Amino acid sequence: MRATLTVLGSGTSMGVPTIGCRCAVCSSPDPHDRRTRPSVMVEYGGHSILIDTTPDFREQAIRERIRNLDAVIYTHAHADHILGLDDLRPLTFWRDENIPLYASPDTAEIIRRMFRYIFDGDYKYGGLAQVELREFEGPLELFGARFIPVKVLHGDAIIYGYRFGSAAYLTDHSDVPPESIAQLQGLDILFLDALRKRPHPTHSTLENSVKLVEQIRPARAFFTHISHDLGHEETNTGLPPHVRLSYDGLKLEFEI
Ligand SMILES: [Zn+2]
Ligand SMILES: [Zn+2]
C-alpha cells in the first residue's frame, strides 16, 4: 500500500534557530534552516500515525493541516519528543474512542509520571486529552501496516526507532547495534540522527551517519535531529546524492 511520510520537525532538542543565538544558521533566511523539534507523520489507507509529540506539535499540526490522528508511537521519553502530548487534545475530543499512545514500558512509565494529571483519573477541571497509554515491546500491527521496533543506543539508554514497510525512522542514536542494522535491509527510505560534525555523547555525527548509510544501503537517506552547526544548503552540497538533510514539511512517498 502507498504511504506518505511527512517530516513535522527536523531539529535538535533546542530547535533551530536556538533562543538567543546569533550564529549564521540561526540567522539564515533559508526556510530549510528553521527546524522544529523532531517528529514524523505516516499516512496510509486514510489513517495517520504520529511518531513522537514534540513541544512544537501544535505549530506542526497547524502547518500541515492535521485534522485526524489514529495513533502515536513514541521513540523515548526525552522532553523534546513528548512535551507536545497535551496538544493532542483538539484531535481527541470529537472521536468515540481514545487515541492510543504506544510506548515501551520504560517510556510509558515516564510519560505516565510527567502527565499524571491526564492518567490519574481524579482531575476535576475537564478538557483532558482523550488518550490511552499502551505498552508494547514487539512489532505493532496498525491498520494493516507493521511497525517494527529497532533498538538503538542513545548514550547509555536503549531507545527505539521504527521500521514500517520500506521506510525506517531512527532518531537520537549514538550507536546502532549489528542486530538492528540487520533489521534495516532493503529500505527505500532511511532516517538517521545527524546532530552536527563534532562528536556528542548521545547523538550521531554527520560523518558517522554517512558511514551508517554506506553500511545499510537504503535507496534514499535523510538526516534529522539537526543542530544549528549544519546549514541546509551548504551541508547538502557535501553529501552523496542519495543522502540529504531532511527539513520541516518534507513529504516522501513509499510502500508500507
Ligand atoms: Zn531528541
Ligand atoms: Zn533523546
Helix (H, G, I), strand (E, B) or coil at 233: helix
pLDDT value at residue 124: 78
Helix (H, G, I), strand (E, B) or coil at 43: strand
Which listed ligand is nearest to 14 at the C-alpha? 1
pLDDT value at residue 245: 98
Distance 22 CA to ligand 2 centre (A): 25
Beta bridge partners of 154: 157
Q: What's the distance, CA 171 to chain centroid?
A: 6
Among 8, 65, 74, CA closest to 42: 8
Which listed ligand is nearest to 227 at the C-alpha? 1
Compute the average pLDDT of residues 70-92. Answer: 98
Which listed ligand is nearest to 225 at the C-alpha? 1
Residue type, 69: L
pLDDT value at residue 134: 98
Distance 96 CA to ligand 1 centre (A): 32
Does the predicted TM-score (pTM) go above 0.95?
yes
Distance 66 CA to ligand 2 centre (A): 25
Distance 231 CA to ligand 2 centre (A): 22
Distance 76 CA to ligand 2 centre (A): 7
Contacts of 195 (CB under 8 A, 6+ apart): 12, 203, 204, 205, 225, 226, 227, 229
* Least reliable range by pLDDT among 85-99, 119-133, 177-191, 194-208: 119-133
Confidence of residue 253 (pLDDT cuts 50, 70, 90): very high
Alpha-carbon distance of 240 to 256, in angstroms, equals 25
Residue 233 grid coordinates = 544548503
Which listed ligand is nearest to 159 at the C-alpha? 2
Distance 54 CA to ligand 1 centre (A): 9
**What is the DSSP annotation of 100-158?**
EEEE-HHHHHHHHHHTHHHHSS---S-----EEEEE--S-EEETTEEEEEEEEEETTEE
Among 242, 246, 232, 162, CA closest to 210: 242
CA dihedral 54, 56, 59, 62 (to 10 degrees): 0
The model's pLDDT over 6-65, given as tens digits with 9 standing for 90+, comes to 999 999 999 999 999 999 999 999 999 999 999 999 999 999 999 999 999 999 999 999
Distance 1 CA to ligand 1 centre (A): 30
The model's pLDDT over 163-195, given as tens digits with 9 standing for 90+, comes to 999 999 999 999 999 999 999 999 999 999 999
Alpha-carbon distance of 116 to 147, in angstroms, equals 27
Residue type, 181: I
Distance 193 CA to ligand 2 centre (A): 10
Strand order in the sheet with 39-44: 131-135, 99-103, 71-73, 47-51, 39-44, 2-9, 251-255
Distance 220 CA to ligand 1 centre (A): 22
Distance 171 CA to ligand 1 centre (A): 7
